[in-house]
Amino acid sequence: MIKVLLHGCSGRMGKVISSTALNFNTLKIVAGIDRFKTNELDYPVFTSLEECTVDYDVLLDFSSAAALKSLLDFSKKTKKPIVICSTGFTQEDLNLIDETSNLIPLFRSGNMSVGINLINNLLRKITPFLYNNYDIEIVEKHHNQKLDSPSGTAVLLADTIKESISEETKFVHGREGIAKREHKEIGIHAVRGGGIVGDHEVIFAGTGEVIELTHKAISREVFAVGALKACEYMGNISEAGLYNMDDVLNLKF
């Protein structure tokens, strides 16, 4: 049984993860960390990592980018795997993640959905064939409480597309003014409103046809399942390194 320490347990996703974990017979959430304590959960909750006295196997974070340094410092002390599901990291944050992965097993993904990661792998295959004759645009939609824009998923998809193209390309975030689109542009557009869980669309717009890859998250449970699968995987990893959903789903083909 893999013992999971959940950071951000009182948040929206934390509560979904806690309920979804009951369907997993390979792991158990043994404690939670959150500055907002709650009595709704069936495990002890501490207000900080330093206060935690419960032994664990994997630290699962679904809080915010602001907590990154404390999470990495704590994990380096315990020398145990960490699964990072937060988004909105700066380049400095990403550099710190890379450096820390040389010391401990570290998992990070821009999206925990199985479907999104399958689409991401598909983009690696089709983008080199389509780029010359198609313009590429990404549209993402989320609820009005989401802090980072564009979403971590949109960044994940955009980076994959860019890395799949041998020619020089550039990201364009939204459009305004009077100017023709350059072919080398990869457009990224963010919509925020209501309670949208998370919609992502990659558009390949050609002269005579349009190809669209669309993913709509109907429930936050899809992210919880992916996060817990990552915990299952990382619970059996002892070698330092940077891991992602490709490793979890064995999608490295």
pLDDT at residue 43, rounded to an integer = 93
* 173 marked as part of a ligand binding site: no
pLDDT at residue 37, rounded to an integer = 78
pLDDT < 50 positions in the chain: none
pLDDT digits 0-9 by tens, 170-181: 999 999 999 899
Task: Say which residue the tokens 């080398």 belong to.
Answer: 184
pLDDT at residue 87, rounded to an integer = 83
* 13 marked as part of a ligand binding site: yes
136 within 8 A of 181, measured Cβ to Cβ: no
CB atoms within 10 A of CB 226: 22
pLDDT at residue 28, rounded to an integer = 96
> Is 215 labeled as catalytic in the residue annotation?
no
Distance (Å, whole) CA 178 – CA 153: 29
For the chain, the maximum distance between any two Cα atoms, rounded to a whole number of angstroms, is: 62
pLDDT at residue 169, rounded to an integer = 98
Query: All domains of the chain, ordered by start, with CATH?
Result: 1-110+218-247 (3.40.50.720), 113-215 (3.30.360.10)
* 111 marked as part of a ligand binding site: yes
Catalytic residue among 7, 15, 80, 142: 142
* 109 marked as part of a ligand binding site: yes
Catalytic residue among 3, 28, 146, 184: 146
CB atoms within 10 A of CB 55: 11
> Is 146 labeled as catalytic in the residue annotation?
yes
